[in-house]
Structure 1
Amino acid sequence: MKLTVFGATGGVGQEIVKQALAAGHEVTAVVRDPARFAVTGERLQVFRSDLTDPEALRPAVAGRDAVLSGLGARKISDAGVATALTRSVLAAMEAEGTRRLLVVSAAPVGPLPENSPLADRAARNVIGLIFKNVYADLTEMESELARSATDWTSVRPPRLQNKPLTGAYRTVIGGFPNAGRFLARADVAHAMLALVDDPAAVKQGVGVAY
Structure 2
Amino acid sequence: MSEIVIFGAGGRAGRHAVAEAVARGHRVTAVVRDPAAHQALAGDGVALVRGDATDAGSVAAVAAGHDAAISAVARLDTPPEEFFVGTAHALLDGLARAGVGRLVLIGIGTTLEVSPGVMLLDTPGFPADARAFSLGHVAELEALRAAPTSVDWLVLAPPPTLLDAEAARTGRYRVGGTQVAAAEEGVLFPYADLAAALVDEIEAPKHHRTLVAVAP
Could you give the per-residue CA deviations for residues 16-59 of structure 1, whole angstroms, max 9, x where no partner exists? 01111111101011111012211132221112123332112212
Q: Structure 1 residue 123: deviation in Å?
A: 10
- In structure 2, the residue corresponding to 1:51 is in which secondary structure? coil
Q: Which residue of 1 aligns with 2:31?
A: 30
Identity of aligned residues (%): 26
Q: How does 1:91-130 map to 2 (within 5 A)?
A: 91-112=93-114, 125-127=124-126, 129-130=128-129
- For the aligned residue pairs, the C-alpha RMSD in angstroms reads 2.6
The equivalent of 1:87 in structure 2 is: 89
In the TM superposition, residue 78 of structure 1 has moved relative to its aligned partner by 5.5
How many residues are treated as equivalent by the alignment? 204
Structure 1 stretches of 4+ moved >4 Å:
75-78, 121-125
Shift, 1:187, TM fit: 1.8
Instruction: Give the superposition deviation at 1:104.
Output: 0.7
CA distance in 1, matches of 2:69, 2:12: 17
Relative to structure 1, the CA distance from residue 186 to residue 78 in structure 2 (aligned partners, 3 Å threshold; closer, same or farther) is farther
Unaligned runs of 5+ in 1: 115-120
CA distance in 2, matches of 1:44, 1:192: 17
Kindly provide the CA deviation profile for residues 83-120 of structure 1, in whole angstroms up to 9, marking residues without a partner as x: 22232222101222322000011122132366xxxxxx
Within a 5 Å distance, the mapping from 1:60-209 to structure 2 comes to 60-73=62-75, 75=76, 79-80=80-81, 81-112=83-114, 125-127=124-126, 129-148=128-147, 149=149, 150-158=151-159, 159-161=161-163, 162-164=165-167, 165-179=169-183, 182-209=188-215
Normalising by the residue count of structure 2, what TM-score does the alignment of the two structures yield?
0.82
Cα distance, 1:24–1:122 mapped onto 2, change above 3 Å: closer
Paired with 1:82 and 1:171, the residues of 2 have a C-alpha distance of 23
